[in-house]
Structure 1
Amino acid sequence: MRGGTVAVVGGSIAGCAFATAVAQAGAGEVVVLERTRGRLEDRGVGLCIHNDRAVELAASGALPGGIAAHRLDRRRWVVRDRATEGGRVIWEQPFPFHSYHWGLLWRGLRESVPGSVVYRQGETVAGVTGSGAGAAGAEVRLADGSVERYDLVIGADGYRSVVRAAVCPESRPHYAGYVCWRGNFDAARLAELDGGVDPVPDAVTTVCFPGGTCVIYRIPGPEGPRVNWVLYAPPPQDGQLRFDDPTSFPPGGLTPGLAAHLSGLLDREFPAYWGRALALTDPADTFVQPIYDLESAPTAAGRLLLAGDAASVVRPHNTSGAAKALQDATAFAEGWRRCDSFEELVLGYEDARGPAGRELVALARRLGRAQVEQTPPWAEMDGRGMAAWWQGQLAGAPGIGGRAMTP
């Protein structure tokens, strides 16, 4: 197809990827509507992309070159052991990923958006229409009451997607029953710690404890390498958290009670070295969020379609969120070049990406059950037992990080 007008609701990773894909595929006009007025690159959290997915996405143009990344090769699972500062390693597995700083990845994607795309910040979308069969276009209603019309609207507006509310209003995020604590700190601060532990820059360390796990790895940062960590555990039982908002306590928003809960968890459950390491995190770089998942069926209807987290919210255990968003954009661009009408494009996108998103949600639920909700007796596990436990979670899937795209 050539020409046509497209609105992308949301301008973060998925939104930038789709804006680039649509413009390069031949759309006549592309507009990005991003509600945030400030700099999105201030989100200082880490993420990973599987090496095979990165090669695939670089070849398609969805992952621009030159974005800072840190190579990771292996994953070490450790348990608390009073005789060992860094904990006892119960298993080591290959981990062929590269880690990224969210803000640096977003910046690279944003800079790659063609100049023909109109990127409007401070634009809150209040609602959209255009999901009915045979719809000739879509309307976007902005918060100021104005209405804009497009041939197609792409929802890249995350778990609270207003576009999803029009495509499948019955699909809502479901609380998984546990929370995720996140933080990051300057990797140079590891030199402040003693204990004779080598944190191994190319390794992911997973600390295992009853009822949870914590994943620790390096990421690039705007001013040098950082240590990023993600800790999954049951929530505090004192009512400090509510479970209707996955970003209840953003960076710098921890209450004294939540900070004390985290400190106690590190003291009780972590190997001494790793407890001290995570304690290096500045409160301004620490936050906690309830874990949710969501699957949308369908992911497209009429002249509306969903991308990234708007289509499926996958628990982070699967390490697939960014790759999935970029794959969505790649599939959409391929469909645009192949299809002769918007109707054909939307149906083809649903056939290609709907099942992929639902498969990722199902795998992440299995990972969450095994690594948080129903943890094994970690201290009794050995390499053989861990390998069998891991394969049980995969249940036939080739691994985490997402699957290769099919043509």
Structure 2
Amino acid sequence: MTVVVVGGSLSGLFHAIVLKHLGHNVHVLEKSSQTLLESQAAGLNAGPDVQKLIDLYIKSETPYGMPGALVEIVDREGVVINSFPPNATTNLTTWRILYNILKSHLLGEATTLATYETEKLVGEVNYDGEMVSVSYTDIKTGVSDVRHADLVIAADGGHSSIREGVIPDSSPEYVGYVTWRGAVPEPLLCEASRSFLSNRVFMLRAEHGFILSYHVPSDNGSLKPGECQFIWAWYEKLDEHSDDFNENFTDISGKRHFTTVPRGKMQPKVWEKRQECGNSLNPPFAELLEKTSDPFVSAIRERQSPKSVFYDGKLLLVGDAFALFRPHLGSSTNQAAMQALGLAEVLEGRSDLVAWERKSVEYAMKTAALGNAYGEYCFTGKVPDSISAAIRPDESYT
């Protein structure tokens, strides 16, 4: 079977690896350049299905993350005032580490079963009753081409053009807040901050939002003390129509971004304002902002799809292209891995696409509801009923 995977980030790579393992010819088409892909890389949670997929198909003996820990809520003096467990087995890592593992595995073996091309902009995806045709253009040369496939995997992200083609008016909706993000290598922090932040997940509520920090391997995968890094994410409520929003999402060249201003593109004055806000945080968090050299900011958007199977089962929506979550649970990557593992069961005759789609929809609905509830708690300190069992209500605060 010939398969075209539209989207070469983690969702696309999960599916490409599974399909290649099953003996299919896989062609991955990614819109972004390698540089642009990496400029938006961030920390992430490798959930249980990610770990299962890596164990089954890659069999990596090299650790690629750090076990998740309690989320500890601290005050401005650094005193822990509450904590709650992760929602599932977690492994804290980075996008770049996983991407390199997956892509190397996909292309590293001596085989012609897989190709991976960047800067390929997919246009129309059509179905003639037998095959699906994928039209695309090389962004560098302007040359257009068409690939014909028995199966197309739409893994082209939250702003999927393929989803928009089969589910009109399905663009993600802004949820009312943004996230500022960055990473700081361990050696750049003072000893007191390193000691406070190491091997822990912290949350501090701040004006209009909250900030998180967690400890992950270095981008080359090192877990050695002194070689790892700290990831931080600051969630801030912000009106999409405000002057601040417009300024924050206009880059150094004057380009207005819809979702993310990538690393290296943020206006210096925008970052200076954010660092000034950081002075109100406790010292370790303030130092994280001070020592961050390449921050980026994203508008948080969400979208769920009512179905994931189209064109008689020859077009499948996966990952963020299928359901885009608020990031509080870190479940987006796990969703894609879950779908890839489920697709393997379908292709091996152990399940069918009806069951696969039902599981995808149910997973998305549950994850969105729980993630939104966690977000409410993180912003307000008030415990929604849906997560009251995971957080001790008598210790929550506003």
| TM-score range normalised by the length of the shorter chain | 0.7 to 0.9
Q: Is the 8 A contact 1:305 1:346 kept in 2?
A: no
Task: Name the SS of the counterpart of 1:199 in structure 2.
Answer: helix
Q: Is the 8 A contact 1:366 1:393 kept in 2?
A: yes
Name the counterpart of 1:256: 268
Name the counterpart of 2:303: 294
Q: Is the 8 A contact 1:293 1:315 kept in 2?
A: yes
Length-normalised TM-score, structure 2: 0.82
Question: Which range moves more in the overlay, 182-191 or 273-282?
Answer: 273-282
Instruction: Please point out which of 8, 15, 23 is paired with 1:18.
Output: 15
What aligned pairs does 1:169-318 form with structure 2 within 5 A after superposition?
169-191=168-190, 198-222=195-219, 224-235=227-238, 237-238=243-244, 239-241=246-248, 245=257, 247-268=259-280, 270-282=281-293, 285-302=294-311, 303-318=314-329
Question: Structure 1 residues 122, 44: CA separation in 2 closer, same or farther (over 3 Å shift)?
Answer: closer
Q: Does residue 1:366 correspond to 2:373, yes or no?
A: yes
Task: Name the SS of the counterpart of 2:69 in structure 1.
Answer: strand
Question: Which range moves more in the overlay, 96-105 or 8-17?
Answer: 96-105
Q: Does residue 1:351 correspond to 2:364, yes or no?
A: no
Shift of 1:9: 0.4
Name the counterpart of 1:122: 119
Task: Name the SS of the counterpart of 1:356 in structure 2.
Answer: helix
Q: Which amino acid aligns with 1:279?
A: E
Q: Does residue 1:139 correspond to 2:133, yes or no?
A: yes
Q: Is the 8 A contact 1:215 1:229 kept in 2?
A: yes
Q: Percent identity?
A: 25
> Which stretches in structure 2 are left out of the alignment for 5+ residues?
138-142, 221-226, 251-255, 392-398
Shift of 1:98: 1.8
How far does the alpha carbon of each residue in 1:149-196 deviate from its partner, in whole angstroms, 9 at most, with x for none? 1111100111121221223123210101110000001111122x658x
Q: 1: CA distance between counterparts of 2:378 and 2:172?
A: 20
Length-normalised TM-score, structure 1: 0.81
Shift of 1:41: 4.7
Q: 2: CA distance between counterparts of 1:90 and 1:215?
A: 15
Name the counterpart of 2:140: none
Q: Is the 8 A contact 2:196 2:284 kept in 1?
A: no
Task: Name the SS of the counterpart of 2:182 in structure 1.
Answer: strand
Question: Structure 1 residues 273, 221: CA separation in 2 closer, same or farther (over 3 Å shift)?
Answer: closer
Name the counterpart of 1:89: 80
Q: Is the 8 A contact 2:179 2:299 kept in 1?
A: yes
Q: 1: CA distance between counterparts of 2:366 and 2:34?
A: 34
Instruction: Please point out which of 92, 100, 105 is paired with 1:107.
Output: 100
Shift of 1:322: 1.5
What is the RMSD computed on CA atoms of the aligned residues? 2.7
Q: Which amino acid aligns with 2:354?
A: L
Q: 2: CA distance between counterparts of 1:105 and 1:48?
A: 10
Q: 1: CA distance between counterparts of 2:277 and 2:304?
A: 32
> Which stretches in structure 1 are left out of the alignment for 5+ residues?
377-388, 399-407
Q: 2: CA distance between counterparts of 1:353 and 1:206?
A: 30
Q: Which amino acid aligns with 2:170?
A: S
